[in-house]
Amino acid sequence: MIYELNEPSEAAPLFAGWQDLDVGVIACLEKVMGKIYATAPERPESAIAVIGDFVFCAGKPDLELLRSKPDRWMLVVPQDKAWAKLIEDNFPAGKRIRYAIRKDTKFDREKLEAMVKALPDGYTLRKIDSELYDVCLKDENFDDCVRIFESKERYLELGRGFVVLKDGKIVSAASSYSRFRNGIDIEIGTLKAERRKGIASAVAAKLILACLDEGLYPAWDAANRMSVRLAKKLGYKYSHEYVCYGVD
C-alpha cells in the first residue's frame, strides 16, 4: 500500500546523504509545496518526493511506489543505480543528464548589480505581479516560471520572479520554479532570438539580489550546459552531473 505522508519528515532519513539534495525535495519535506509518498506512514523503507514535473526516488527501490506517481510525463531522478535499474527495466524511459549546482554560493553583489545595469537599451525589468503572472501562465515559453504553484495567490505569497520586456512583450524571465522555507529554486527562460545579449544574466541577477535582500537562498539546478555556464557567470559553483529519466 502507498501512503501520502501527513508528516513528510518521516521520510527525511531516506533522503539524507544525497549530494547537493535538490531543494524541491526540501520543499516537500518542509510541507511548503509538493508531496511525499511512501510505503509506510511511519519509518518507511521507500519514498518519492513529487513536485512539479519532478519525482525524486529514495530508499529501497519499489515499483508499486514509483507507479503511484502522477499519470503524466515526469522527470524521475533515481537516488542510486538500483533505482535507475528499476526505472530502465520497467518504463520506456528516456535517459538524460542534468547538472547539480552547489548550494553554498557566496554572491558578489557588485558583480550582480553590474549585470542588472548592463541590460541593453530597449529592454525593461519588471517584477512578476498579478498581471504578469497571468501572462506567464498563458505563454508556453514562460509558464514553468509560475505554474506549479497552486494558485495565483499562492505564487504572489511565496513565489519570486522578474521578467524582461521588449515592446511590451516578455522575452526573458527568472522566477521560482518552487519554494522551500528559506529559499527558491530558480527557473529561467529566454526566447531564442533574444539570447547572447546579457538579458538572461540581468534578469537572473535581479532575482538573486532580491532573494538576498529577503534572506532567501536562490538555488540553481541546470538542465543543460548552457545553464551551467550562466550559473557560473552569476557566481555559482558546479557540483556534479546526475542521471534522470523522462517517464510517461
The residue ranges of the chain whose pLDDT is under 70 are none
CATH of the domain at 12: 3.40.630.110
**What sign does the CA torsion over 76, 80, 83, 89 have?**
positive
pLDDT, position 32? 97
Same domain, 116 and 177: yes
* Assigned domain for 97 exists: no
pLDDT, position 93? 78
Q: What DSSP letter does each residue of 150-186 carry, written as one string?
A: SSHHHHHHH--EEEEEETTEEEEEEEEEEEETTEEEE
For 199, phi then psi, to 5°, come to -75, -45
| Boundary residue ending a domain (91, 120, 150) | 91
Same domain, 143 and 222: yes
Give pLDDT tens digits for 161-212.
Answer: 999 999 999 999 999 999 999 999 999 999 999 999 999 999 999 999 999 9
Instruction: Domain of residue 13: give its range.
Output: 3-91
* DSSP category for residue 32: S
Evaluate whether 59 touches 79 at the Cβ level (below 8 Å).
yes
